[in-house]
Amino acid sequence: MTDLSPDEALPLDPRRRRLLQVAGAGLALVGMAPVAFAAGEATTVAATRAGRVRGAREQGLHVFRGIRYGADTSTTRFQAPRAPHAWNGVATALAFGGSAPQRGNDGPGSEDCLFLNVWTPALRDGGKRPVLFYIHGGGYDTGSGSNPLYDGTRLCQRGDVVVVTVNHRLNAFGYLHLGQVAGSGLGASGNAGQLDLVLALQWVRDNIAGFGGDPANVTVFGQSGGGAKIATLMAMPAARGLFHRAWTMSGQQVTAAGPRAATQRAQLFIATLGLDPAAPDAIARLRALPAAQLLEATMVRDFSRVEDTRLYFGPVMDGEVVPRHPFWPDAPAQSMAIPMVIGNTRDETRAFLGNDAKNFALAWDELPARLERQQFVDIRSDLVVEEYRRLYPQYTPSEVFFAATTAGRSWRGAVEELEARARQPAGAAPTWAYQLDWGSPLDEGKFRAFHTLDIPLVFDNVRQPGSRTGDGADAQALADRMSDALLALARHGDPNHAGLARWEPYTMARRQTLLFDVPATLADDPRGGERRFWQQAPFVQRGTM
C-alpha cells in the first residue's frame, strides 16, 4: 500500500493548511525573540542528560516541543545518529523542531531534524506513568511528529500517561543503502532512519523519569509507515528492551528490502544525480550535494513499483542493523514477550484511490484493467472480479475495486503478521486484531473507513484540525472506546476495558478480530473468503526485491 501522512491521504483541510503556515512561521522565530503567552499560561523547565529544556504549561500539562535527542545530521549524512552535545543554560522547547528533508506538506525540512515532543501531567514526581511513543506515518518518505492529530493532550488527560512524538530521517537521508556501493563503509546507511528511532527510544529510557514517565513501561504505536517501522524495530537487536507493548495501525513490515535490491536502488539514485556509482569519489560527492538536489532525485521511477514514480526507500536486511526479515519466516523471537495489537481499516484504499472520481463510477467491463494497475498481487484481475462478485453479489464494480485493492495491498500484510504471532510457542505474549468498520460521515460517507481514519480516534482527537471523523456523537463514542483500549494496553498489557465487549486474542483456530464500530463487536475470521482467495499467491512486501 502507498503510505500517506494524514494530510496527504485526502484533500487538505483549510484549517490544517493555515495551522501549518502559522507553525512554519513560528519555527523561524524560535531562539530569535521571546515567546509571548496568553494570560494564565506559563513556562516550565525539565532536566535531560544533555541539559535543561523550557516548555509550556497548557491545559494543566507540561508540554515540550522540539527537544533535541540527536545531533545535527547534516555533517554526518548517511551515518548512524549521534547523541546531542550537552548545552549550558536552558534550551527552548516551545515550538516543534524541523521535520526531516522531504517533499510534500511537511517539507522541505532540514537535516537537523532529530527532535521529539513530550506531553506530561507532571515532572519529577516519581509518578511512573505509562509512556506512549508515537511514530508517524507517511511511509518512509514523508511526515513528522508535529501533525495536530498527534497532539498528546487528550491522551494525557484521559489516562494519566506521558505521550512522546518524534521526527527522524526519511527517504534517501534515512534509508539509502550504501554499504555495497563504491566501498563506502556506510554499512548502516540503509537503516539510519531506524537507528534514529532507536536513539529516540534510548532518550526515553534515560530521561523520561524526569518527565513523570516509567522507562520500564513504554508502548510504541504508529500508523501506516509508523506501524511498519515498529514491526522493523521488533526485529532489530539495537531496539531490544527499549519498548514493552506495541500497537500498529494499517502498517506492516513482513519483509525488508534485500541488500541486492537496495544496492540497485542506491546505484539508480546516484546515477540520477549525474554521478558514477563506481567512481572512487562518488560517495564524497553525494554527501556534499544540497539536500534539495537529493530530494529531487528520489522521484526517479522505481523498477518494481507500478502506482507512482517514487523510488522505494525502506529498511534493509543488511545482516547487522536488521539481521533478518521483520516477520518472515516467523515472528521475531526477541519480541515474543511484547503484547501487540495489529489493526487495519475496512476501506484503506479509498484514502488515495478515492481521489479519482472515475473509481466511483466504474463499469464491469473496465474494472479488470483498473484492478490490474492497482492490486499489486500477480493474480489475473478477471479472476479477482469473478471471486468478489461471488463473495459479495450486491457489490457494485467500484465497491469491488476498493475492496480488492484494500485486501491485496494492505490487509494481507496484517494477516501475515497476525499469523506469525499466532504461531509463536506457548507462553508468548498475546496479539489482538482489530478492523475499523465505522466510516467517516463526511463527503456523504463515500470514503467510509479509509486509511488514516483511526488516528484521531486512537488519540481521542476528533475535533483537531485535519480530523475527518466529524465531531458527532458516534465519532466521540468510538474515540472513547479506541483510546481507552490503547491506554489499557499501555497500563496493563491488555487492551480490554469496561467499554468493550470481550476482545479475545487472535488465534489460528478462530482468527478473532474486534470490529470497531458503534457498537464494537468480536468476529471470527471476518472476510475469511477474501483471505483464502489471496493466499493462492505468495505475499511479497513491496521493496523486498
* HEC profile of 46-77: EEECCEEEEEEEECCEEEEEEEECCCCCCCCC
Catalytic-labelled residue, pool 99, 189, 451, 483: 451
Cell of 522: 468480536
Q: Which residues contact 313 (CB under 8 A, 6 or more apart)?
A: 139, 140, 141, 170, 171, 172, 174, 175, 176, 265, 298, 543
Q: Which residue numbers in the chain have pLDDT < 70?
A: 1-41, 305-309
Q: Which residues contact 125 (CB under 8 A, 6 or more apart)?
A: 212
387 is catalytic: no
Does this model's pTM top 0.95? no
Query: What confidence score (pLDDT) does residue 231 get?
Result: 98
At 175, which amino acid appears? Y
Strand partners, 62: 57, 120
Query: What confidence score (pLDDT) does residue 308 get?
Result: 58
Q: Are strands 245-249 and 340-345 parallel, antiparallel or unpaired?
A: parallel
Query: What confidence score (pLDDT) does residue 1 get?
Result: 43
- The DSSP secondary-structure symbol of 331 reads -
Query: What confidence score (pLDDT) does residue 15 get?
Result: 38
Question: Which residue is it, cell 509512556?
Answer: 131
CATH of the domain spanning 6-249: 3.40.50.1820
Catalytic-labelled residue, pool 99, 224, 250, 440: 224
Residues of the chain with CATH 3.40.50.1820: 6-249, 340-534
58 is catalytic: no
pLDDT tens per residue, range 343-401: 999 999 999 999 999 999 999 999 999 999 898 888 999 999 999 999 999 999 999 99
Q: Is CATH 3.40.50.1820 correct for 340-534?
A: yes
Query: What confidence score (pLDDT) does residue 28 get?
Result: 32
381 is catalytic: no
List the helix and strand counts (H, then E) for the chain.
16, 13
Catalytic-labelled residue, pool 348, 387, 416, 530: 348
Q: Which residues contact 146 (CB under 8 A, 6 or more apart)?
A: 23, 65, 96, 99, 106, 117, 165, 167
Query: What confidence score (pLDDT) does residue 304 get?
Result: 79
Query: What confidence score (pLDDT) does residue 168 get?
Result: 98
At 332, which amino acid appears? P
